[in-house]
Amino acid sequence: MENQVSSKSIILNYGVYLGVISVIMSLIVYATGNHLQPHWAVNLISVLVMITFIALGMGKFKSSNGGYMSWGKAVKNGMGIVLISMLITILYLFLFINYIEPEFKTQTLEIAQQTWIDSNMTSEQVETTRKIADEYFSLSLYGSIIIMSLFFGFVISAITGAIMKRSPEEQY
């Protein structure tokens, strides 16, 4: 395993592919008017796309290294792909919220406020929660994207890596 190919270009390529496809999916959801409350299928498709590009990236790394890949290298590649994609997604969201759809924050908070009212919160609680949500909207949005991307990225990378790993000692 001393002649391993560098994973940097593989991580960068597949991370950019995943990020661009994620942005395209977001633009489609926006164009169809479902960006405020997307259908559950959008999340399912996003996870399937993530699985696909992580597996493709791992497969490319494995084939570039003579058919061998450790679990650790697999996870490293998968997480790298997710990190590049996440950076592209956050950049897109910044542009979306600030330039493409500047009313997104207001519209999202109105939907959330109605949910709080429907859950029998008092008007005082709703107002306090709205102020907090308004103040920390961007931080919570970007933070949740980072946390969810890293969590799902790790789980997918760990499982896919466990399936795809192969060392010279594992000759069947």
Regarding predicted confidence, which is higher, 83 or 35? 83
- Is the per-residue pLDDT at 5 higher than 90? no
Are 2 and 168 a contacting pair, CB within 8 Å?
A: no
Average pLDDT over residues 150-154: 96
pLDDT for 16:
98
Identify which of 78, 65, 76 has the alpha carbon closest to the alpha carbon of residue 167: 65
pLDDT classification of 2: cutoffs 50, 70, 90:
very low
Residue 80, token pair as written in the block: 């790298």
Average pLDDT, the chain: 91
pLDDT tens by residue, 80-112 = 999 999 999 999 999 999 999 999 888 988 888
**pTM value?**
0.86
